[in-house]
Structure 1
Amino acid sequence: MKLKYLLFGAALISLTSFTNDTLDAKYSKPTKKTNAIFQTSDGEKLIAKSDCIGCHKLDKKLIGPSYLDIAKKYPVNEKNVSYLSGKIIKGGSGVWGTIPMAAHGSLKKEEAKSMAKYILSIKK
């Protein structure tokens, strides 16, 4: 019985020692077709760590508008990035309805800009 477990363990270790480097390379390097690298942006990481997901979803309205709706409304330019980063930090109401967005005063201006740039970049 001990011999069976020993052989099973050795087989398991030998099978798991083989890696497929081409699979890892597929997701870490751009492809010739798209030249896309799948990475999360700093803005996306900041949004994931914050309380934004309590009121906003990517493609559905919750309490606040979806990120896609925001991206459709505001073209990507420095004026809109500054405007939205200000809204993220100071909060506000009236643009998307009567429910106010909470202020996020602990965020730095650059962090809020990074979040706004990410939101505006997700247009379909």
Structure 2
Amino acid sequence: MKRLFLATLMLSLFQISCSKKEEEPKEKPPIVDNTSYEPQASPMSPPPSTDQPVATDDISAGKSLVEGADCLACHKIDAKLVGPAYQDVAAKYTDADIDHLAQKIIDGGKGVWGDVPMTAHAGMSKENAQKMVKYILSLKK
């Protein structure tokens, strides 16, 4: 009787361990289309201060675009993360570099701030990339 019980138990364990487990399909991340992004004012944004000049529409839109894209995964305003701090970028470049920097956002690149490449954002319009650059350059110390 013991042998029959052990044989049944061993056969059951063998069957369980050899059975093919069905894996649930992994979800693919959604594809982000930045070309039709319409920035909206956040309801949590504080009202503009009377002590500071009011930001232009392009700078406000640029800030919304930066916050809505994947930029903040690698960049911070005042400290290096994976990429340079936005204030460091603003210190290095001027308004004359807006087109160049906008194209770098679209094409990606590496070498200027180290060996870690910046991912390309090929779906982004040049106009939106320029707004993002104007916002970043507005953070000059």
- By the TM > 0.5 criterion, same fold? yes
Higher helix proportion (structure 1 or 2) = 1
Alignment correspondent of 2:129: 112
Deviation at 1:75, TM superposition (A): 1.7
Q: Is the 8 A contact 1:43 1:115 kept in 2?
A: yes
Q: Is the 8 A contact 1:71 1:120 kept in 2?
A: yes
Size of the aligned set, in residue pairs, is 93
CA RMSD between the two structures = 1.9
Using the aligned pairs only, state the percent identity.
Answer: 47
CA distance in 2, matches of 1:105, 1:35: 35
Amino acid at match of 2:77: L
Question: Deviations along 1:15-74, whole A, 9 cap, x unmatched?
Answer: xxxxxxxxxxxx45x73xx36337870000000000000000000101100000000000
Amino acid at match of 2:100: Y
Alignment correspondent of 1:75: 94
CA distance in 2, matches of 1:92, 1:83: 12
Within 5 A, what are the aligned runs for 1:1-124?
27=47, 31=50, 34=51, 36-37=53-54, 41-77=60-96, 80-124=97-141
Question: Deviations along 1:86-110, whole A, 9 cap, x unmatched?
Answer: 0000000000000100000111010
CA distance in 1, matches of 2:103, 2:55: 28
Ranges in structure 1 where 5+ consecutive residues have no aligned partner: 1-26
Greater than 2 Å deviation, 4+ residue runs: 34-40
- Flag the structure with larger Rg: 2
Alignment correspondent of 1:5: none
Amino acid at match of 1:107: M
Q: Give the secondary structure class of the aligned counterpart of 2:84.
A: coil
CA distance in 2, matches of 1:94, 1:64: 11
Question: Normalized against structure 2, the TM-score is what?
Answer: 0.61
Q: Give the secondary structure class of the aligned counterpart of 2:95.
A: coil
Q: Is the 8 A contact 1:76 1:121 kept in 2?
A: no
